[in-house]
Structure 1
């Protein structure tokens, strides 16, 4: 139990249904859908699409999503991959010939075909109760009427506004060119019209016809090689999750092209150390976790890609022997001089996560993103659809498994998760924060398993992350810990932005739902 004389959040407890996400209006929309008789799929879609106007720097209908779904009446879990592919004509060789070493972040070359809308349509049709029109109704209303800008969103807007292109600034800044500030009302009327068309005609209203032509014209004018066929042929895929055990907890992750297997690799490595005997906020734990992350992320950067191009590398990353060999390289008293290889992706922090559990105990773990802050910065001319820059997740290195090629999915950072205990689904959860996410999954799960924290405490706890040769420590770490880590050889940095943001819903054995929501974001858990 938390100390009620210190700042903090209590867990949210409810019987009938719950949503946890990073903006209260989205959580409220999801709960309203549950109260109307919708299920967790209907509610998760509703909340996620609202986040496209409530947190437009983080996500939107020009982005991708991944989901783990546990249907009511059982503990099976299904993985839905709503990530888009590179245009058929895309080729790393062409960018290399232009002198590029990486995919330019704010260019049409970085724009993969948006996959989220196709996935939402498929999920609604296959598992929803109310239908897509009901799920999209809250977002249509908020996009038309507007949403007051919240504090974290305003902070991010200031940090990322330079990303926006001319079309992006027209749709995502005030008419006088200034950025929205806390309390300003932000609207997306063009996207409200797009949603109305999708509600009426389904996915074809987005991937064909006038809306698709608006997207194509914008991208082609900026040098994109996207075609009408690229949009028309979008199709999400459905698969089984990948699983790994961490001390009697079964962690279910989305398979590649997401990086969930790296969370499992990190936990397999951490299991080689007696983490539970360490101070949870001390130097030794932060050091072991940092060294684990360096090695795990190096493996990610070399191997992770579209699963059709990974060969046996998935099995290699998931193999316990791989984790044991990597863990043996860690010096418990000294930091590595630097990361084993340079990271192949640019630093980014922008994603939303939503989880919903309904009265029948269907559970949804959904993550939805446009990648960097405001994505590529490019918005379609007429409707203001802001394009993701997921293509920046590709490598331009010739022969790399993740090399940019037409029709491939890039290595993705966004990863939803679920826990099972004794075969029972007990907690959908996710940790936002770009490449931090595998480390975040490992940290939250270790907080719960090794230190007995409840979900809210596990989310609240200070975070660290080894990134680009530095060890980022949130201000929750003491000066003594900082000094000890520096003595071990770590270069310490306090990040400008809090590390990640998490949401979780624990499903207790008696059926009670317990929600936790990260104070690093503007959101909350709500139940009824």
Structure 2
């Protein structure tokens, strides 16, 4: 009886937040807000959002695999252990530094809309709805991840794909304990998808594959996915064609026809990833690289250009003056994001102007240092001219890969093709339905996407491979991490652990407009006085939001080692050797 009362009291303390009275301990050196020191390694480094994925990648490096080999193995493992956020039903983007070529490569492995669904048909189906539904059949576009794996492997891989997929196959059959943050997010996603049941035309497969007795796997509970193991085996044996042209494609086609998804085997067979040139701006001597649209990476570059005109360090880290400038720069960049970011095959994007210092100077003049902007237009000069996992790996030869992969929202569309063990992403919901818009829906078109890998060079040498997961938070996270590193001199771990802001409510590529300045959330590590100051400037404060999840590898050019970091907001781990 006494034990039962103790357990009840213990649970009550957790549920009521009594542990909020317990502060963190003190570090002997470095910033006290940091959760740990950077992880160091001479021969290789891995940082992912789950320890098992990190250890899998580390094993691949020790077996002689390249950074890309290890990243593929880690991504496959994450599709099992963090299936809510990623998987082979989603898309992938990567930036790779090739030490041999001394060059950065970009890969866009995002999929396209079904060719058999026209704009007119979709408009008729939607009726009075102005946006595509978040879940269900209409949100599904071609999954690009598997092709992305093979394109990366073809150019930068060394070990055979069956060897890279073997750990994911083994653990999918044996089962893995569910990590704390993942368990929480999994259950939140389950409730959200159950509530959207009227939109999701087939949900039984999801329940059978991803739930245990009708609930998400609890923390520490072992989760198995034998269907995913079988699918990985087919891919390992038959290559990317098994997914896009073979038995897996046949299952997808049949399921799609049965459930009202417009995706067909022909759409899968026609899919291919594209090698693209990363784009960059120089920020205080550092060359920051992102990928061009259909992603949102150039928003980071636009914000950096705007902020370069201020002495941020003199304002003080996370001061009201500092945060106000970052939020206002975000609003400006996101208006351009809402209007111009789209599939470059369908829309001419004025990249050179958007990324010019001249344009940034014009936009900078729109910031009122004492008042939050409520409604902002995209740049008229430019008119003339989107849940996720991020991982990064570096190997002994000096190669580095920055890779991001996503279902879009957790578990994407909520639809699981028969016996395949993964959900289709819902990236198709990111199209705009307004005729003439850059991101308007069209057959065979890539939708706007939120997932962005990042990379930094210094004096022609690779310096940092990094990313921050989480929809519209991603550019904001990239920006804050970069300012932490460059303006405030934080190390790679501190840069991710420092408290963040998250601004929501900006105009979006799907057609929504910001008319009230949006909402601003601050993590608890930012003082209450700063919150009050920002509120007095007109920022609409909110208590809750998502602040992302960060991994990074920094190359120390002096000591020729790697520094790895994985922050506390996820279940992740950085490890090296």
TM-score by length of 1: 0.95
CA distance in structure 2 between the aligned counterparts of 1:357 and 1:6, rounded to whole angstroms: 27
Aligned residue for 1:440? 477
CA distance in structure 1 between the aligned counterparts of 2:279 and 2:526, rounded to whole angstroms: 33
Aligned residue for 1:293? 330
Q: Identify the range of structure 1 (157-166 vs 478-487) with the bigger mean alpha-carbon deviation.
A: 157-166
Gaps of 5+ in 2: 1-27, 195-202, 379-385, 506-517
Alpha-carbon distance change, 454 to 398 in structure 1, aligned in 2, over 3 angstroms:
same
Q: Which one of 477, 497, 502 corresponds to residue 550 of structure 2? A: 502
Give the match's secondary structure for 1:434. coil
Alpha-carbon distance change, 317 to 33 in structure 1, aligned in 2, over 3 angstroms:
same
Once the two structures are superposed, residues 15-57 of structure 1 have per-residue CA deviations (whole angstroms, 9 ceiling, x without a partner) of 1100011100000000000011111010000001100111111
CA distance in structure 2 between the aligned counterparts of 1:526 and 1:31, rounded to whole angstroms: 7
CA distance in structure 1 between the aligned counterparts of 2:246 and 2:488, rounded to whole angstroms: 54
Shift in Å, 1:384:
2.6
Aligned residue for 1:214? 251
CA distance in structure 2 between the aligned counterparts of 1:204 and 1:242, rounded to whole angstroms: 31
Once the two structures are superposed, residues 152-178 of structure 1 have per-residue CA deviations (whole angstroms, 9 ceiling, x without a partner) of 00110121103263321221101x212
Contact 1:20 1:505 in 2 (8 A): yes
Aligned residue for 2:61? 34
Shift in Å, 1:125:
1.9
Aligned residue for 1:125? 154
Once the two structures are superposed, residues 98-127 of structure 1 have per-residue CA deviations (whole angstroms, 9 ceiling, x without a partner) of 322111111211111000101101211221
Shift in Å, 1:264:
0.3
Q: Which one of 79, 82, 103 corresponds to residue 52 of structure 1? A: 79
5 Å matches for 1:259-278?
259-278=296-315
Give the match's secondary structure for 2:103. coil
CA distance in structure 2 between the aligned counterparts of 1:220 and 1:340, rounded to whole angstroms: 42
Once the two structures are superposed, residues 425-444 of structure 1 have per-residue CA deviations (whole angstroms, 9 ceiling, x without a partner) of 11111111111111111111
Contact 2:252 2:264 in 1 (8 A): no
Q: Which one of 125, 135, 140 corresponds to residue 106 of structure 1? A: 135
Shift in Å, 1:272:
1.8
Shift in Å, 1:256:
1.4
Contact 2:451 2:471 in 1 (8 A): yes
CA distance in structure 1 between the aligned counterparts of 2:552 and 2:64, rounded to whole angstroms: 22
CA distance in structure 1 between the aligned counterparts of 2:250 and 2:56, rounded to whole angstroms: 31
Alpha-carbon distance change, 142 to 311 in structure 1, aligned in 2, over 3 angstroms:
same
TM-score by length of 2: 0.88
2:550 is equivalent to residue 523 of structure 1: no
Once the two structures are superposed, residues 223-279 of structure 1 have per-residue CA deviations (whole angstroms, 9 ceiling, x without a partner) of 222221101111110021111110000011112111111110010011122212111
Shift in Å, 1:371:
0.3
Shift in Å, 1:210:
2.4
Contact 2:31 2:494 in 1 (8 A): no
Aligned residue for 2:531? 482
2:188 is equivalent to residue 188 of structure 1: no
CA distance in structure 2 between the aligned counterparts of 1:361 and 1:7, rounded to whole angstroms: 27
Contact 1:294 1:340 in 2 (8 A): no
Give the match's secondary structure for 1:515. strand
Give the match's secondary structure for 2:434. coil
Give the match's secondary structure for 1:430. strand
Give the match's secondary structure for 1:33. helix
2:95 is equivalent to residue 68 of structure 1: yes
Q: Which one of 316, 341, 356 corresponds to residue 304 of structure 1? A: 341
Structure 1 vs Structure 2 CA RMSD: 1.6
Shift in Å, 1:339:
5.9
Shift in Å, 1:198:
1.0
CA distance in structure 1 between the aligned counterparts of 2:551 and 2:437, rounded to whole angstroms: 34
Q: Which one of 409, 429, 433 corresponds to residue 446 of structure 2? A: 409
CA distance in structure 2 between the aligned counterparts of 1:461 and 1:211, rounded to whole angstroms: 44
Shift in Å, 1:2:
4.6
Aligned residue for 1:85? 112
Give the match's secondary structure for 1:465. strand
CA distance in structure 2 between the aligned counterparts of 1:337 and 1:441, rounded to whole angstroms: 23
Gaps of 5+ in 1: 342-347
Once the two structures are superposed, residues 300-338 of structure 1 have per-residue CA deviations (whole angstroms, 9 ceiling, x without a partner) of 010000012231422232122221111110100100124
Contact 2:390 2:469 in 1 (8 A): yes
Give the match's secondary structure for 1:213. helix
Number of residue pairs matched by the alignment: 519
CA distance in structure 1 between the aligned counterparts of 2:29 and 2:391, rounded to whole angstroms: 24
Give the match's secondary structure for 2:306. helix
2:217 is equivalent to residue 168 of structure 1: no
